[in-house]
Structure 1
Amino acid sequence: MAERVSKGDGELDRDTAVTLRGPGVYDATLSAGWSVGNAAVHGGYLLALLGRALGDQLPHPDPFTITAHYLTASRPGPAVIRTETVRTGRTLSTGTAALVQHDAEGNEVERVRVLASYGDLDALPDDVRTAAKPPEFPPVEQCLGPEDAPDDRPAPGSPLHERLRMKLDPATLGWALGAPSGRGEMRAWFGLADGRDPDPLALLVAVDALPPTTFELGFTGWVPTVELTAHIRARPAPGPLRVSVTTRNLAGGFLEEDAEVWDTADRLVAQSRQLARVGLI
Structure 2
Amino acid sequence: MSTEFDRGIAVTARPSAPATYDTELGAGWQIGAGVNGGLLLATLGNALGSTFAADGGHVDPVSISAYYLSASRPGPAVVSTEVLRARRSMSTGSASLLQTDDDGGSVERIRALATYGDLAGLPDDVRTTATPPDLPPPDRCVSAADAPPSFMAQAGLLERLDLRLDPAYVGWAVGKPSGTGRIQGWLRMADPREPDPLLLLLAVDALPPVTFDLGLLGWTPTLELTVHLRARPAPGWLRVVASTRNLAGSFLEEDAEVWDSDDRLVAQSRQLARAPR
What TM-score, normalized to structure 1?
0.94
How far apart are the structure 1 equivalents of 2:50 and 2:80? 12
1:48 aligns with 2:42: yes
Q: Which runs of 5+ in 1 are unaligned?
A: 1-5
> Which amino acid in structure 1 is aligned with residue 132 of structure 2?
P
Contact preservation (8 Å) 2:49, 2:61: yes
For the 8 Å contact 2:65–2:113, the answer to whether it is kept is yes
Query: Superposed, which structure 2 residues align to 1:190-269 within 5 Å?
Result: 190-269=187-266
- Decide whether the 8 Å contact of 2:145 with 2:159 is kept in 1: no
Q: Which amino acid aligns with 2:4?
A: E
Q: 1:147, CA displacement in angstroms?
A: 2.9
Tell whether 2:18 aligns with 1:16: no
Q: Distance in 1 between matches of 2:232 and 2:83?
A: 24
Residues 8-56 of structure 1 deviation map (CA, whole Å, 9 limit, x = unaligned): x21111111111111311111111110111x211000000000000001
Distance 1:97 1:111 in 2: 11
Q: 2:172 aligns with which of 169, 172, 175?
A: 175
Name the CA distance, whole Å, in 2 between partners of 1:170 and 1:191: 18
- 2:23 alignment counterpart: 28
1:257 Cα deviation after fit: 0.4
The amino acid across from 2:93 in the alignment is G
Alpha-carbon separation, structure 1, partners of 2:150 and 2:139: 18
**Cα drift, residue 148 of structure 1:** 3.3
- For residues 207 and 178 of structure 2, what CA distance do their matches in structure 1 show? 16
Aligned residues: 269
1:69-105 CA distance string (max 9 Å, x none): 0000000111111100000111100000000001011
TM-score scaled by length of structure 2: 0.95
State, as a whole percentage, how many aligned pairs show the same letter: 61
Q: CA deviation at 1:137?
A: 1.5
After superposition, the CA RMSD in angstroms is 1.1
Equivalent position amino acid for 2:11 in 1:
V
Cα distance in 2 for residues equivalent to 1:175 and 1:101: 35
Using the alignment, how far apart are the partners of 2:219 and 2:193 within structure 1?
Answer: 28
Q: How far did residue 154 of structure 1 move? A: 5.0
Contact 1:146 1:156 in 2 (8 A): no
**Secondary structure of 1:156 counterpart:** helix
**Structure 2: gaps spanning 5 or more residues:** none
Quick one: distance in 1 between partners of 2:3 and 2:232?
18
1:244 is aligned with what amino acid?
V
The residue identity in structure 2 corresponding to 1:66 is I
Give the distance between the partners of 2:87 and 2:22, measured in 1 at CA.
27
The one-letter code sitting in structure 2 at the alignment partner of 1:193 is: A
Structure 1 CA distance, aligned partners of 2:137 and 2:121? Answer: 32
- The residue number in structure 1 matching 2:133 is 135
Q: Is the 8 A contact 2:144 2:162 kept in 1?
A: no
Measured against aligned partners, the alpha-carbon deviations of 1:209-251 in whole angstroms (never above 9, x if no partner) come to: 1001100101001001000000111000000100001100000
